[in-house]
Structure 1
Amino acid sequence: MLYITHDLLSARLLADEVLVLNQGALVERGPTREVIGAARDDYTKLLLDSIPNPFANSR
């Protein structure tokens, strides 16, 4: 299955491998756990930082 998304959280749940494209250029590729756990590219890090944290405002 090919799953195209900007949501790396859903990709983490569905995919074994992730390819990250920035303006059509491949910037990062690898096993989902590795890409999400240790992103190297700034765009991948930006996508990961955009995932909402449900505990961010809790006390």
Structure 2
Amino acid sequence: MVIENTVFRNNINTTKNTGVLGGSGGAITINDLFGSVEIRQSIFEENKALGDASSPTKAAR
């Protein structure tokens, strides 16, 4: 998969299963992908994965 010339801005994941083991990102989530992801010439800005106190990274921002 190739993602190119894309802006990911102000996305918020409010689920509690965020972080290292939960895998739910603020800008983009890729689950069960067999292969590779290449991101070119793209911008990630002000994206948040909120999580909660029990998530591995607490509130990742």
The two structures have a TM-score, normalised by structure 2, of 0.20
Which of the pair has the greater relative contact order for Cα pairs under 8 Å at 6+ separation? 2
Structure with the bigger percentage of strand: 2
The two structures have a TM-score, normalised by structure 1, of 0.21
Structure with the bigger percentage of helix: 1
